[in-house]
Amino acid sequence: MKENKRNDLIKLIDISRVSNKAKEEVKKQVPKEVTQSQYNSVMGNLESVLKANERFYKKANAVYKTIKCLEVHNYAPEMNKAHLKNGDIVKIPQIFSIENAANYIAKQELSKQLN
């Protein structure tokens, strides 16, 4: 029974990655046996995930606007590159769309900032 409640909480956290209304869903669906500290922990994690997603999508949107074109190699996709408007060229292996390239570059830049 406890495992089901744990899985439900995990599903709610996954929902939070998609929707800002997840906080209200968590409040409605949290089992009564959950202690206040467990609830606060879940809500804190939820808020941090939402903030991280917001930072990522802002960065990806900014990168998307700077991509001029893609250099795509059908038979050697590991050589794909994105040409940026400022003249820089960024390697984007296995990526064939501008949207995915923007997400990849944003993820790389954010991971560099964390290190």
Q: What is the mean pLDDT of residues 18-43?
A: 68
Answer whether residue 17 shows pLDDT above 60: no
Q: Which CATH class is domain 59-114?
A: mainly beta
Answer whether residue 68 shows pLDDT above 90: yes
User: Which residues sit opposite 84 in a β-bridge?
Assistant: 67
Q: What is the mean pLDDT of residues 21-34?
A: 66
Q: What is the mean pLDDT of residues 58-83?
A: 92
d(CA 47, CA 58): 17
- Provide the pLDDT confidence category of residue 13 given band limits of 50, 70 and 90: low
Q: Which pLDDT belongs to residue 1?
A: 45
> Exposure string (b/e) for 65-94, b if CB count within 10 Å is 16 or more?
eebeebebeeeeeeebbbeeeeeeebebee
d(CA 80, CA 15): 33
Q: What is the mean pLDDT of residues 25-44?
A: 71
Q: What are the DSSP calls for 42-96, one per residue?
A: HHHHHHHHHHHHHHHHHHHHHHHHHEEEEE--SS-GGG-EEEETTS-EEE-TT--
Answer whether residue 78 shows pLDDT above 90: yes
> Which amino acid is located at 95 in the chain?
I
* Mean pLDDT, rounded, of the chain: 80
- Tell whether pTM > 0.75: no
Q: What are the DSSP calls for 20-35, one per residue?
A: TTHHHHHHHHS-TTS-
Would you list the domain boundaries of the chain? 2-58, 59-114
